[in-house]
Homo-oligomer: A and B are copies of this chain.
Amino acid sequence: MSASYAIGIDIGGTKVLGGLVDEGGRIVHRARRDTPDRSKSPRVVEDTIVSVVDELRAHAADPGGHVSGEVSAVGIGAAGFVGADMATVVFAPHLSWRNEPLRDALTHRVGLPIVVDNDANAAAWAEWRFGAARGETHLVMITLGTGIGGGLLIDGALHRGKFGIAAEFGHMQVVPDGHRCECGNRGCWEQYASGNALVREARSMIAAQSPVAADLAVRAQEAGGLTGPLITEAAKAGDPTARELLAEVGHWLGVGIANIAAALDPGRFVIGGGVSAAGELLIEPARDTFRRKLTGRGYRPEALVVAAALGNDAGLIGAADLARSTTR
A residues lining the B interface (CB < 8 Å): 81, 90-91, 93, 98-99, 137-138, 150, 152, 154, 159-176, 183-185, 188, 255, 258-260, 262-267, 293, 295-297, 299-301, 303
Neighbour of A299 across the interface among B81, B162, B185, B258, CB < 8 A:
B81
- Prevailing SS type, chain A contact patch: loop
A-B contact pairs, 7 of them (CB 8 A): A150-B263, A154-B159, A161-B264, A172-B172, A172-B259, A173-B293, A264-B264
CA distance A42 to B162 in the complex (A): 40
The reply to whether B91 and A299 form a contact with Cβ atoms under 8 Å apart is yes
Given the complex, which residues of B lie within 8 Å of A297, measured CB to CB? 184
Question: Shortest beta-carbon distance, A174 to chain B, in Å?
Answer: 7
The reply to whether A138 and B165 form a contact with Cβ atoms under 8 Å apart is no
Question: Shortest beta-carbon distance, A143 to chain B, in Å?
Answer: 15
Question: Shortest beta-carbon distance, A257 to chain B, in Å?
Answer: 11
When A137-B162, A162-B265, A265-B164 are in contact, do A259 and B296 touch as well, CB less than 8 Å? no
Given the complex, which residues of B lie within 8 Å of A154, measured CB to CB? 159
The reply to whether A165 and B260 form a contact with Cβ atoms under 8 Å apart is no
Nearest opposing residue in chain B for A137, CB measure: B162
Neighbour of A173 across the interface among B91, B165, B167, B259, CB < 8 A:
B259
The reply to whether A258 and B173 form a contact with Cβ atoms under 8 Å apart is yes
Question: Shortest beta-carbon distance, A277 to chain B, in Å?
Answer: 26
Given the complex, which residues of B lie within 8 Å of A171, measured CB to CB? 262, 295-296
The reply to whether B169 and A91 form a contact with Cβ atoms under 8 Å apart is no
When A173-B258, A262-B172 are in contact, do A162 and B295 touch as well, CB less than 8 Å? no
Nearest opposing residue in chain B for A164, CB measure: B265
Neighbour of A169 across the interface among B159, B170, B262, CB < 8 A:
B262
